[in-house]
């Protein structure tokens, strides 16, 4: 597989953020790359608070965090449906695990990944179950733990091992050790979902769910069930989200005269107005206003 992505897709005002924090992506151990896209590491030491904004990817994240002198902690961040905003102040550190879309399912096989969508759940020992899902999902469990996690004492120590060292290689090694220790079982459905999302991300001819279903020789309903179980959002959401990511990155490039009409057609929109509507609903400002130079 190729190394971690180098683009800024999903980061709103990426240059502003990267001027304030030290942001890096690192590869996981080879044994984990089939499930994990990359690790992301952020350190900051700010004299003034700053609010970062991200248009979420169709990925579950496992996030280890330390803010100032607070006790470090970790959480499972399901796919966010809205613009994610995080206020950063003082000194802090975050070490994140970005699972490939579909890659989290083997680590939490007792629930469909849609169960975690919209949730941010503290990582607790004994594979804790956070309770009913949003929207009243009462799907019966199998009696197995909902999320893999080691016992409390060991978990606290492993969280400290991840966010404690100043040495970046040591943090990556601690993430590798933590995830390898969970030993997820192979899941053919998750592997299929990961391949389908990769296709959506890389193939611009896939503009509708029906296009993907036809290309794969399956029904639209089958795709929807697979994505709910293994990705956490529907295939239509994934297609639209990758469109907005690309539009956001083009706008971030601050080109002299970005042709929004041509970009809308390139991304599969019927016209510029539809792109502007989706962009504004997701990012919070119209695309032309976002692309306007800020200095």
Q: How many domains does the chain have?
A: 2
> What pLDDT score was predicted for residue 140?
39
Residue 47, in any domain of the structure:
yes
Q: What is the DSSP letter of 66?
A: E
Same domain, yes or no: 122 and 210: no
Same domain, yes or no: 241 and 200: yes
Nearest CA-CA partner of 105 in 63, 144, 139, 59: 59
Residue 220, in any domain of the structure:
yes
Residue 4, in any domain of the structure:
no
Same domain, yes or no: 194 and 282: yes
Residues 6+ positions from 114 with CB-CB distance below 8 Å: 133, 137, 228, 229, 232, 233
Same domain, yes or no: 223 and 81: no
Same domain, yes or no: 167 and 259: no
Q: What are the backbone dihedrals phi and psi of residue 149, each rounded to the nearest 5 degrees, phi first?
A: -165, 145
Same domain, yes or no: 170 and 230: no
> What pLDDT score was predicted for residue 137?
47
List b or e across 141-162, with b for residues whose CB sees 16 or more CB atoms inside 10 angstroms. eeeebbbbbbeeeebbebbebb
Same domain, yes or no: 173 and 246: no
Residue 99, in any domain of the structure:
yes
Q: In what side-by-side order are the strands of the sheet with 21-26? A: 21-26, 36-45, 91-99, 61-67, 73-77, 120-122
Residue 65, in any domain of the structure:
yes
CATH number reported for the structural domain that contains residue 229 in this entry: 1.10.10.60
Same domain, yes or no: 163 and 201: no
Look over the chain and give the mean of its residue pLDDT values, rounded to a whole number.
Answer: 87
Q: Are 7 and 40 in contact (CB under 8 A)?
A: no
Pairing of strands 36-45, 21-26: antiparallel
Same domain, yes or no: 107 and 27: yes
> What pLDDT score was predicted for residue 148?
56
- HSE-up of residue 197 (Cα within 13 Å, Cβ side): 30
Residue 1, in any domain of the structure:
no
Same domain, yes or no: 59 and 202: no
pLDDT in tens, 79-135: 999 999 999 999 999 999 999 999 999 999 888 999 999 999 888 753 444 455 544
Range of the structural domain that residue 264 is part of: 188-291
Strand (E) or helix (H) holding 247: helix 235-252
Window from 32-46, 85-99, 203-217 with minimum mean pLDDT: 203-217
- HSE-up of residue 177 (Cα within 13 Å, Cβ side): 14
* Bridge partner list, 61: 77, 98
> What pLDDT score was predicted for residue 170?
97
Residue 139, in any domain of the structure:
no
pLDDT-derived band at 281 (thresholds 50, 70, 90) equals very high
Same domain, yes or no: 79 and 196: no
Q: What's the rounded Cα separation, in Å, for the pair 160 and 64?
A: 9
Residue 280, in any domain of the structure:
yes
pLDDT-derived band at 21 (thresholds 50, 70, 90) equals very high
Same domain, yes or no: 69 and 169: yes
Q: Compute and round to an integer the Cα radius of gyration of the chain.
A: 19
């Amino acid at each position: 597989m190729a190394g971690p992505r180098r683009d800024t897709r999903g980061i709103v005002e990426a240059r502003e953020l990267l001027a304030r924090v030290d942001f890096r992506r690192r590869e996981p151990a080879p044994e984990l790359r089939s499930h994990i896209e990359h690790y992301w590491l952020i350190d900051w030491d700010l004299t003034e608070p700053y609010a970062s904004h991200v248009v979420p990817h169709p990925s579950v994240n496992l996030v280890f965090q330390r803010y100032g002198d607070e006790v470090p902690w970790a959480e499972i961040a399901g796919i966010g449906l809205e613009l994610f905003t995080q206020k950063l102040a003082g000194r802090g550190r975050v070490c994140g695990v970005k699972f490939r879309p579909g890659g989290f399912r083997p680590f939490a096989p007792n629930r469909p990944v849609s169960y975690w969508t919209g949730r941010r759940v503290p990582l607790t020992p004994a594979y804790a179950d956070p309770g009913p899902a949003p929207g009243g999902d009462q799907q019966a469990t199998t009696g197995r733990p909902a999320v893999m996690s080691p016992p409390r004492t060991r978990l606290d120590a492993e969280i400290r091992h991840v966010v404690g060292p100043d040495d970046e290689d040591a943090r990556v090694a601690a993430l590798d050790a933590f995830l390898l220790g969970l030993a997820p079982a192979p899941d053919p459905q998750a592997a299929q979902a990961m391949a389908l999302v990769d296709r959506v991300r890389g193939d611009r001819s896939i503009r509708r769910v029906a296009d993907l279903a036809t290309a794969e020789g399956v029904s639209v309903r089958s795709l929807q069930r697979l994505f709910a179980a293994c990705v956490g959002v529907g295939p239509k959401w994934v297609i639209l989200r990758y469109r907005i990511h690309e539009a956001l990155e083009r706008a971030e490039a601050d080109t002299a005269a970005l042709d929004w009409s041509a970009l809308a057609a390139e991304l599969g929109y019927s016209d510029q107005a539809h792109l502007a509507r989706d962009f504004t609903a997701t990012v919070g400002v119209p695309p032309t206003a976002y692309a306007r130079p800020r200095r």
